[in-house]
Amino acid sequence: MDDRLRLVQWLSPAFPIGGFAYSQGLEEPMATGLVPDAAGVEQWVRDVLRLGTPRLDAVVVARARAGDDSQGLADLLHAMASSAERAVELMEQGRAFATLIAGIHGTAPAIWPYPVAVGLATRALRVSTPEVLSLLLHGAAAQLVSAATRFLPLGQTEAQAILTRLAPLIAELAHEAAALPLDEVTTFTPGADMAAMRHETQEVRIFRT
């Protein structure tokens, strides 16, 4: 029970790694009207979870928990980063997460991209890998929905309804990612990737990514 509570704490959107500051490029399609409402947000988040970077992150967490080479996993994440903002977010959230975990345990932080840091930190927890990945993916979805709630006329009830409807997909993807070999990992979200690239030069913006 203690390990499960630690996991919920570490992967909660409230864990202070600055997740509230990132939209992973979603701000750009919301600003241009491509994602104008709750239905658009839900479809965007579904597609990103199923085909985008959260899926890659989940597989990397699973492989890090299984003992794969941390540097190799970090190199893969950097190689597959589709934009400069994605690379910055990986390292800044990884640094914040590792620093907090090290502070909690009184150790020196080892700085890795966020998914590698999560995988290493959760190795010692007596929880299943699908459970870890479920909370990781739920956190990714919650981060995007939270960004939409603050940007669009999207109410808290609608936001929570979206997350509720996403739960079966998150559970399915978590079990899939836990068993997926690293050499079968792909992402294909060109719209989201280009939105993140355009966001880098957006003149007025609320979010860092």
Residue pLDDT tens, the chain, 209 long:
899 999 999 999 889 998 888 888 899 999 999 999 999 999 999 999 999 999 999 999 999 999 999 999 999 999 999 898 899 999 999 999 999 999 999 998 899 999 999 999 999 999 999 999 999 999 999 999 999 999 999 999 999 999 999 999 999 999 999 999 998 898 989 888 898 888 878 776 777 77
200: which residues sit within 8 A by CB, 6+ positions away?
83, 84, 85
Cβ–Cβ under 8 Å, residues 119 and 61? yes
What local confidence, expressed as pLDDT, does residue 19 receive? 81
Site of tokens 């794969």: 68
Length of the chain: 209
Tokens, residue 106: 């009184």
Domains and CATH numbers, the chain: 19-199 (1.10.4190.10)
pLDDT at position 197 is 87
* Contact assessment for residue 120 and residue 110, using Cβ atoms and an 8 Å cutoff: yes
Q: pTM for this one? A: 0.94
Q: What is the pLDDT of residue 22?
A: 83
Burial category of 176 from C-beta neighbours within 10 Å (exposed 0-12, middle 13-18, buried 19 and up): middle
Sequence-distant (6+) residues with CB within 8 A of 204 are none
C-beta atoms surrounding 160 within 10 Å: 13
Number of Cβ atoms within 10 Å of the Cβ of 124: 9
